[in-house]
Amino acid sequence: MTQRPKIVVVMPAYNAERTLERTVHDLPEQVVDEIILSDDCSSDRTVELARQLGLTVVQHQRNQGYGANQKTGYRLALSKGADIVVMLHPDYQYDPRVIPAAVSFLAHDICDIIIGNRVRTRRETLSGGMPIYKYVSNRVLTILDNVVLGQNLGDFHSGFRVFKRTVLETLNYESNSDDFIFDIEMLAQAVHHGFKIGDVPIPTRYFAEASSINFRRSLRYGIENLRVLIQVLLHRSGLMRFKLFEPKAGPSEAKSSSQ
């Protein structure tokens, strides 16, 4: 990129009233051009507060799910001409001050996707409040994800992600789940299409107001993660084909997989 890229932050929100202002306050104004809040039919004052803060707001009339909320945000970001899209949870779990560092890897064509890595050391992660069962499941799933997808990432399950426009134009994310497993499906798609993925360290923040799925939902998420990895292996072997690994319909400037 020869000129400064347009950077748009997408926040998939659900009942984020208590943490939204703190998250927005920490966003680097000199780097971010626009903030889109995609609201999944919150029952609190999330939408009202977002408008007071000057954010671009798009609101679902019924609750559609975490994945569906991201789809809405990405569509709007692309329509507004974003060159780089930052997906950031508005629950203040992920430190937005690292956005300039993360974006620089994309602007210099070192990576196509950057993920925030919350798991630098066991002590730091647990002292940041991550429940022990979440830490263990994160480590086990991240190891499996790295092995199957051929990556070396520290945290596959982070809610801080930065994408080049060409990634979102290529991945068939509209065919993905509307639930939490959407994130893993996107990374599996990105690997399939040959995009370069890296990570940057971010602090771990777990606290009462931050959003978090319970143990039952976490278990379901883990099972769904394994299902995606099985799909990757089956598709790679040619035994079965899955729509999520096909590119979007129409022309694309992104490189495709050589498989």
CA angle, corner 103, sides to 100 and 109, nearest 5?
Answer: 140
Question: Which one, of 6, 14, 62, lies nearest residue 37 by Cα?
Answer: 14
**Residue 250 banded pLDDT, cuts 50, 70, 90:** low
Residue-wise pLDDT tens digits, 208-248? 666 666 778 888 999 999 999 999 999 999 999 999 999 88
Residue-wise pLDDT tens digits, 2-17? 588 999 999 999 999 9
Place of tokens 């940057």: 200
What domains lie within the chain, and their CATH numbers? 7-245 (3.90.550.10)
C-alpha span between 220 and 94 (Å, rounded): 23
Instruction: Indicate the average pLDDT of the chain.
Output: 91
DSSP string, 63-120: ---HHHHHHHHHHHHHHTT-SEEEEE-TTS-S-GGGHHHHHHHHHTTS-SEEEEE--S
Residue-wise pLDDT tens digits, 36-52? 999 999 999 999 999 99
Q: Is 232 helix (H, G, I), strand (E, B) or coil?
A: helix
What amino acid occupies position 203?
P
Helix, strand, coil abundance in the chain, percent, nearest 5: 45, 15, 40
C-alpha span between 35 and 69 (Å, rounded): 15
Contact of 85 with 162, CB cutoff 8 Å: yes
Contact of 50 with 59, CB cutoff 8 Å: no
| Lowest mean per-residue pLDDT among 9-18, 26-35, 113-122, 246-255 | 246-255
Phi, psi values for residue 47, rounded to 5°: -65, -45
Indicate if the pLDDT at residue 254 is higher than 90.
no
Predicted pLDDT of residue 211? 60
C-alpha span between 41 and 43 (Å, rounded): 7
Contact of 67 with 187, CB cutoff 8 Å: no
**Residue 84 banded pLDDT, cuts 50, 70, 90:** very high
Residue-wise pLDDT tens digits, 123-178? 888 888 888 988 999 999 999 999 999 999 999 999 999 999 999 999 999 999 99
Residue-wise pLDDT tens digits, 177-213? 999 999 999 999 999 999 999 999 998 887 666 666 6
Model pTM above 0.85? yes
Question: Which one, of 113, 103, 140, lies nearest residue 27 by Cα?
Answer: 103
Indicate if the pLDDT at residue 29 is higher than 90.
no
Contact of 112 with 197, CB cutoff 8 Å: yes
Indicate if the pLDDT at residue 259 is higher than 50.
no
Question: Which one, of 172, 186, 258, 175, lies nearest residue 225 by Cα?
Answer: 186
How much is the average pLDDT of 70-94? Answer: 97
Indicate if the pLDDT at residue 251 is higher than 50.
no
Could you tell me how many residues make up the chain?
259
